[in-house]
Amino acid sequence: MSLQFSVLASGSTGNAFYLETEEHSFLVDAGLSGKAMDGLMERIGRKIDDVDGIFVTHEHSDHIKGLGVIARKYGLPVYANEKTWKAMENQIGKLDTGQKFLFPMESVKSFGGLDVESFGVSHDAAEPMFYVFHYQGRKLALMTDTGYVSDRMKGIIRSANVFVFESNHDVGMLQMGRYPWSIKRRILSDVGHVSNEDAALAMTDVIGDGTSRIYLAHLSQDNNMKELARMSVQQTLAAKGFVAGETFQLFDTDPKIPTPLCAV
């Protein structure tokens, strides 16, 4: 009996996350086309048809691109907070009212023994929120798309066994890169995305004795590289006395390749 998960896809081209217990399975976001979502699930040996619902984080297209299509195709329940529902209504097409569920920010819903806890992040969307999953004493924290990591967020995700943690950009690459200043400013702002270094600094406040895995997620294709993200996070952690490879491991995520299904 365990909680298993896979980061199906992560990055600005599309995000999706899968988790399952003995009794239930869920997606968080569906930010790729319906066809791509089917393909990702096939790669981990699962079918969207068997999923019990989709938790939505926010209305940006890299999180909801395939949402309407697969929710209709497989008749799946969709969970989001009120402002996110309003903001994404025009983008996802029509869903049956019976498929639409409210998941308020900073609340908990239980599915069998699985407790799903939502918490707010700081990002330029209507009411962006991420999730922590609790199952049989194990804790899985999912958090990307936030401009910074507040003490409140840290308190909620602290001491998870597994973190999926945003490590969006290298500040130097972003500043030197080809993006217009307005976009650079947005990414660097308090409602943008977390840099490699800021991610690592936040991690030093939340890694616990039981933390075994950290997945670096939502890496920018233009302003980051897997090796750079890993090295930079590793270095910042090491400077604070947290040595990756000892009590916990660092992992990459990919825009197209799911991480292997793995127990929390």
Minimum CB distance to Zn ion, residue 145 (Å): 4
- The region of 54-62, 110-118, 148-156, 159-167 touching Zn ion under the rule CB under 5 A is 54-62
Minimum CB distance to Zn ion, residue 11 (Å): 8
Per DSSP (E only), the strands in 57-196 are 78-80, 100-102, 108-111, 114-120, 129-135, 138-143, 162-166
Residue closer to Zn ion by CB (options 117, 145) is 145
By beta carbon distance, the residue nearest Zn ion is 60
Q: Does 134 help bind Zn ion (rule: CB under 5 A)?
A: no
Minimum CB distance to Zn ion, residue 114 (Å): 24
Interacting residue with Zn ion among 18, 20, 32, 60 (CB under 5 A): 60
Residue closer to Zn ion by CB (options 60, 139) is 60
CA distances from 219 to 8, 66, 79, 192, 197 (A): 14, 20, 25, 13, 13
Q: Does 62 help bind Zn ion (rule: CB under 5 A)?
A: yes
Binding-site size, Zn ion (CB under 5 A): 3
Minimum CB distance to Zn ion, residue 169 (Å): 12
- Reduced to 3 states (helix: H, G, I; strand: E, B; else coil), residue 241 is coil
Cα–Cα distance for residue pair 201/223, rounded to 1 Å: 19
Structure tokens at 220: 């920018």
Residue 90: Cβ-neighbour burial (10 angstroms; 0-12, 13-18, 19+): exposed
Handedness of CA 238, 240, 242, 244 (dihedral sign): negative
Q: Write down how long the chain is.
A: 264
Minimum CB distance to Zn ion, residue 173 (Å): 18
Minimum CB distance to Zn ion, residue 205 (Å): 23
Residue 130: Cβ-neighbour burial (10 angstroms; 0-12, 13-18, 19+): buried
Q: Which is nearest to 177 in space by CA: 217, 228, 143, 215?
A: 228
Residue closer to Zn ion by CB (options 103, 242) is 103
Interacting residue with Zn ion among 145, 166, 170, 198 (CB under 5 A): 145
- The region of 3-11, 56-64, 72-80, 233-241 touching Zn ion under the rule CB under 5 A is 56-64
- Reduced to 3 states (helix: H, G, I; strand: E, B; else coil), residue 130 is strand
Q: Which is nearest to 218 in space by CA: 108, 21, 57, 42?
A: 57
Q: Does 166 help bind Zn ion (rule: CB under 5 A)?
A: no
- The region of 45-53, 55-63, 83-91, 96-104 touching Zn ion under the rule CB under 5 A is 55-63
- The region of 18-26, 57-65, 73-81, 234-242 touching Zn ion under the rule CB under 5 A is 57-65
Task: Tell me which residues touch Zn ion (CB under 5 A).
Answer: 60, 62, 145
